[in-house]
Amino acid sequence: MTEEEILAQITSEYQSSENFTSQKRALYERRKKLYNNIEDQNNKVYSKLIFSVTETLLALYVKDKPSVQFIINKDFFEDIEENIGKVAESDYERMSMEERKERVEFYKFFYGVGIEVFDGFDQTKKTPEYLVISPMLWVCDPNQTINR
């Protein structure tokens, strides 16, 4: 393919994605206004419902500490189990997992998709770095041609 053909394909796919997501983004904008506007309003029960359901789901599914437990053999390796658990909790805090997971889960419940991308490795903290992308900024591939 020539450079012009590649640029034409990219432009075509981007425009196709914009056409595909523009209606969804408009819907999400209206939903976001309802979510943020939770004042008492006559005949508008649904505005509180979106907020309540989303917050309830977040409370149920977002954990404030790792939900992993290491069990080797209680009789001989109790100290090792405890140390591994402490390392897991420390990593969870250093990587800011709680905030990131909460944001991803919110996006899943509110928009139907939560996007978390591995973005590198922090050499200072010795932890992986992740990027959470808002579905309002996401440019999807409506034709699903990325892996063909």
Q: Measured between alpha carbons, how far apart are the two ends of the chain, in Å? A: 16
Tokens of residue 71, six digits = 């069990």
Q: pTM here? A: 0.64
pLDDT tens per residue, range 37-62: 665 556 655 557 777 788 888 888 87
Tell me the C-alpha distance between 99 and 113, whole Å. 17
d(C-alpha 76, C-alpha 13), whole Å: 59
Q: Is 62 exposed, middle or buried (0-12, 13-18, 19+ CB in 10 A)?
A: middle
| pLDDT of 4 | 93
Residue 9's CB is within 10 A of a number of other CB atoms, namely 12
Convert the pLDDT of each residue in 70-119 to its tens digit. Answer: 677 666 777 777 777 787 777 777 777 778 888 888 888 888 888 888 88
Strand-pairing partners, residue 130, are 118
